[in-house]
Amino acid sequence: MGVLRIILTIIYVLVCIALTVIVLMQEGKSAGLGAISGAADTYWGQNKGRSMEGGLVKVTKILAVLFFVLSLVLSMNFLTK
């Protein structure tokens, strides 16, 4: 059981680092003057899901779910000992 706990902890640390980096790479979602003038209706604004920003959002969601699942698993592991 100790080896599994070490492996899960290493994966947990890697997920934490990756989640931090991915969140810092994302652009802010400020709706400034560009939203007022209609700049959000450009090609990149309409196809945001297929762009790099859309990919970062998907990866962030996946890493967040992994973070919470690993947190629960590791906390249950500590409760049994």
Report if residue 62 sits inside a domain: yes
> Residue 12: which residues within 8 A CB-CB, separation 6 or more?
67, 70, 71, 74
- What pLDDT does residue 2 have? 82
Report if residue 15 sits inside a domain: no
Q: What total number of domains does the chain contain?
A: 1
The CB density around residue 63, as the number of other CB atoms within 10 Å, is 20
Report which of residues 50 and 11 the model is more confident about: 11
Taking 80 as the threshold, does the pLDDT of residue 79 lie above it? no
pLDDT in tens, 26-70: 877 665 555 555 555 555 555 555 678 888 889 999 999 999 999
Report if residue 18 sits inside a domain: no
- What pLDDT does residue 55 have? 87
Q: Give the residue numbers spanning the domain of 66.
A: 52-81
Report if residue 37 sits inside a domain: no
Q: Which helix (H) or strand (E) holds 64?
A: helix 52-79
- What pLDDT does residue 28 have? 74
Report if residue 67 sits inside a domain: yes
Report if residue 33 sits inside a domain: no
Report if residue 80 sits inside a domain: yes
